[in-house]
Amino acid sequence: QVQLVESGGGLVQAGESLRLSCAASGQTFSTSTAAWFRQAPGKEREFVAGIKWSPSSTYYANSVKGRFTISRDNAKNTVYLQMDSLKPEDTAVYYCAAATSGRLSTDTTWYDSWGQGTQVTVSS
């Protein structure tokens, strides 16, 4: 299995930036897709961004398109989420997820490994 640990969350003001990191360990060689999800209080967990390698591709939720960028560093077994122009509605717990399958999916059930989440709070 793959263990995922998110970091980089915090409290920022609207318009500021934040970069989240997802460090993977364990059976990382079996992972071909990673994604970021977020969950606000009382809301369902929603897809934010995904990345696939071999070949490389990315996909973003419309709500964050143009503001967020997902990337990876295989040498460090880390996936990043660069969040720019943050808005109060971005406030949520952000989760990193990984899947063995080499296709992107916005469905939480597609992913078999999850981190514990990191809180992102954007004040107005």
Bond into 41 cis (ω within 30):
no
Q: What is the tens place of the pLDDT at every residue in 26-73?
A: 988 778 899 999 999 999 999 999 999 888 999 999 999 999 999 999
Per-residue burial over 18-55, b = 16 or more CB atoms within 10 Å of its CB, e = otherwise: bebbbbbeeebeebebbbbbbeeeeeebebbbbbbeee
Using an 8 Å Cβ cutoff, are 78 and 7 in contact?
no
pLDDT value at residue 82: 98
pLDDT at 103 over 90: no
pLDDT at 20 over 80: yes
* The pLDDT of residue 96 is above 90: yes
Per-residue confidence (pLDDT) for residue 79, from 0 to 100: 96
How large a percentage of the chain has pLDDT more than 90? 85
Report the mean per-residue pLDDT for the chain.
95
Is the pLDDT at 21 greater than 90, yes or no? yes
Q: Give the per-residue pLDDT at 85.
A: 98
Alpha-carbon span 35 to 49, nearest angstrom: 6
**pLDDT at res. 118:** 98
What value does the mean pLDDT take over residues 15-26? 96
pLDDT at 28 (0 to 100): 80
